[in-house]
Chains A and B, each alone.
Chain A
Amino acid sequence: MRTLVTTIMIVVGLGLMIISYTALATPTCNVSVECSDPRVAFAAGIFVLGILTAFSSAIFYSVYKGAE
């Protein structure tokens, strides 16, 4: 359980980071005005959420009291 939930949290966190990063105006789109804003609003916020989720997994792994 401990390992499973921790792994899920890391995967979800990394997933949020990757998805939000690619959902932003990516580095391949530099010249068009359409690329001025991210494709999805608050994508940077989602990226931060991904970081928080991934690192929170360490707290869960350490604090969880149930059986492995």
Chain B
Amino acid sequence: MTTGTAISQAPSGNDNGPPAELPQEIGRLSPKWILFFGVMTAITAVGVYAYLLQVNNGLIVTGLRGLGTMAGATWGLYVAYYVYFIGVSFAGITVAALIRIFRIEKLEPVARIGELLTVVSLILGALAILADLEHPWRAIVNLLKYGRPQSPFFGTFTMVIAGYLFASLVYLYLTSRRDAAILSERDSKYRGMYRFFAAGWEDTEEQRRIDRRVTFWLAVTILPMLVIAHSTVGFVFGLQAGRPGWFGALQAPGFVVLAGVSGIGNLIMLAAIVRVVTKTKSRITLDAFSWLGKLLLGLVVTYLYFTAVEILTITYQPGSAEQGLSEALLTGVYSPIFWISVASLVFAAALLLWQAIMRRWSIRLVFVASLLVTIGSVGKRYLIVVPSQTHGQLLPYATGTYTPNWVEFAIVFALFALGALMIGVFMKVFPIVPLEEVETT
């Protein structure tokens, strides 16, 4: 028996029309897609305008102000979303590791969605941190020139932005070569691009053995990098001894777990959207969602435990700054965000737990739980970044305030729109769901 490779043929958008040239609606722009690209481009353009305003006038056009005498917060929405985007990047390599190391092959159809989500979210994370800087070009040069390992920013820059992003790109590329080779045999306008990316991939046993070996070792190598990278982001806060609410040993593991919560949550939502848009419901089945749901449940419960421990500890701390911070979080100005975030996470955990106990999973309910954990994790990121600056003063300064303004919201929305554009463009030129393999005789 010879082993050949064939791909599943996605049905044409028009039932009466000819069979689709490329699967998964690649290369075809329906009016809905054109509208999607138009709206996302418009939102991105508004964000670019807001950013140019910020570059020309400085951060004074934002709601950010100095600590202490200016009674504000120097890190606000940009840093909160930087942490959020880096957290979302957890998804890709985790799924890759589950498939390659633990051989959970039911997750194979969502692997590329996860890898793409990782790459896009890391790019957005880097852009979010650049948005927070008044002179980003200086930061880029100075980080390369003067970076020191004592600073957690060194790890953030080298491990997260450079290493983790590059390694994820390599992983995404190597796991996509096979599909590029298959598509390069078809007559399409992207044929040259597929041939370039396939880089001579041939369906031989030797090539498959090489691919298995490389992707396994990449997953093994990137997995500890993932833990280091997310811990390093936690250290940016957790190693600041002079800032009540930040300094603590739980920050690093808390960041890793919350990254998992938001990463898997976003992956579930994106996978649910992709299976409808690309008409791959038969590929991305309930099995994948139940696996991801179980993983999300474990992560959410762990994070809720961390939150309880953190809150209990902070309320017992003797300093007036710590007490003021805990009051602001539990009953004060930040309490609505805090309780909404906690309630979202608790409700999501209950929703997932109920499905796990009943052993009956629903894609819609897993999607709702993912939406809830996303709301909860965004709120938690905001609460990690902002309250310690406005209510965590060790020096006798007045309590501060921070309210993000339209410039910050425009830039953050633009980052989301840019991410959606990147994923949308990818879906229109390459199969986001790995092509199905059919053994032929």
Write the residues of chain A forming the contact surface with B, with a CB cutoff of 8 angstroms: 21, 24-27, 30, 37-38, 41-45, 47-48, 51-52, 55-56, 58-59, 61-63, 65
Contact = CB atoms under 8 A, between A and B. Distances in A.
Contacts of B210: 61-62
Contact of B149 (A24, A51, A52): A24
Nearest to B162: A48
Contacts of B112: none
B174 A51 contact: no
B370 to A, nearest CB: 30
B144 A42 contact: yes
Contact of A62 (B144, B150, B167, B214): B214
Given A48-B157, A55-B167, 11 more contacts: A24-B149, A30-B150, A38-B145, A38-B147, A42-B145, A44-B147, A44-B157, A48-B162, A51-B162, A58-B170, A59-B170
Secondary structure at the A interface, as helix, strand, loop or mixed, is helix
Contact of B146 (A44, A56, A62, A65): A44
B150 A27 contact: yes
Interface string B71-93: 00000000000000000000000
Contacts of B158: 44, 47-48, 51
- Closest 5 pairs between A and B when the two form their complex, measured CB to CB: A44-B147, A45-B144, A51-B163, A48-B162, A55-B167
B272 to A, nearest CB: 31
A24 B246 CA distance: 27
B149 A27 contact: yes
B310 interface: no
A63 B157 CA distance: 29
Secondary structure at the B interface, as helix, strand, loop or mixed, is helix
Range of interface residues on B (Cβ < 8 Å): 20 to 34
Given A26-B149, A45-B145, A63-B200, A58 B162 contact: no
Contacts of A21: 149
Contacts of B148: 24-25, 38, 44
Contacts of A41: 145-146
B175 to A, nearest CB: 10
A44 B64 CA distance: 29
A37 B144 contact: no
B275 interface: no
B218 interface: yes
A11 to B, nearest CB: 15
A47 B145 CA distance: 11
A61 B170 CA distance: 12
Contacts of B409: none
B171 to A, nearest CB: 8
Contacts of B200: 63, 65
A43 B147 contact: yes
A62 B218 CA distance: 12
A21 B148 CA distance: 8
Contacts of A51: 158, 162-163, 166-167
Most-contacted residue by chain B among A44, A45, A47 (CB, 10 A): A44
Given A38-B147, A47-B158, A62-B210, A52 B166 contact: yes
